[in-house]
A and B are shown apart, each in its own frame.
Chain A
């Protein structure tokens, strides 16, 4: 099956710094990638949808200037948390889809997640 990786798997950063999380589709081209955030004991909340080569679409309440998303290629999307604060500490998960280019196109393929801790 299609594999999505994330890097790093966990990161600790100081308040006020920025951190970049990478999401890669390893064996397929992902025209659309999604970024989710999950707080402890809660469900996944979609943050934004990104299509390759275009600007991301952010969900209501998500600050686009704080959570910078770049989807420059068909296999890589990045999420940069700028000026991170402790309340940004969360589990960030990406997913990728192929828009019908794979037989199992009804699936979204999820990465393993990145745990961000801001001190």
Chain B
């Protein structure tokens, strides 16, 4: 599986934008970039995913580099409830999404400062 690299931790002030980077230099052309987050003592939840183009949804935006070797999850206005561990995961487009296991790295622990 192609690997992702994320900073162990980041801090951000409340109500400011947060940019969470992810490096995936060995990404293949068939890999989607997925982001999940895990709040304390909870199971992970899906945040966003993309292939080549930037993506927006109600939770966040995903900016994907032109060469696809890195991506950035953007929280436009961080709140205290966004404090969580954020995981960047690659998933093959060729697979049956339902059957493919997710390989979680160490993720980035985001702390929001009031």
A: residues with CB less than 8 A from B are 4, 6, 31-32, 34, 36, 43-46, 49, 51, 91, 93-95, 97-101, 105-113, 115
Contact = CB atoms under 8 A, between A and B. Distances in A.
A85 B98 CA distance: 33
B49 A93 contact: no
Contacts of B91: 106
Nearest to B49: A106
Given A49-B99, A99-B96, A108 B46 contact: yes
Contacts of B34: 106
Contacts of A94: 43
A113 B42 contact: yes
B101 A113 contact: no
Contact of A97 (B45, B49, B98): B98
Contacts, number: 64
A91 B46 CA distance: 19
A99 B105 CA distance: 24
Q: Is the interface of B mostly helix, strand, loop or mixed?
A: loop
A108 B99 contact: no
Given A97-B97, A97-B98, A97-B99, A110 B43 contact: yes
B105 to A, nearest CB: 6
Contacts of A46: 101-103
B99 A99 contact: yes
Q: Which 4 A-B pairs have the closest CB atoms?
A: A99-B98, A110-B43, A97-B98, A44-B104
Most buried by B among A31, A97, A105: A97
Contact of A98 (B43, B49, B98, B102): B98
B98 to A, nearest CB: 3
B49 A32 contact: no
Interface string B1-32: 00000000000000000000000000000001
Contacts of A93: 43-44
Given A43-B105, A46-B103, A111 B98 contact: no
Interface in B74-112: 87, 91, 96-99, 101-107
Given A43-B106, A43-B107, A100 B97 contact: yes
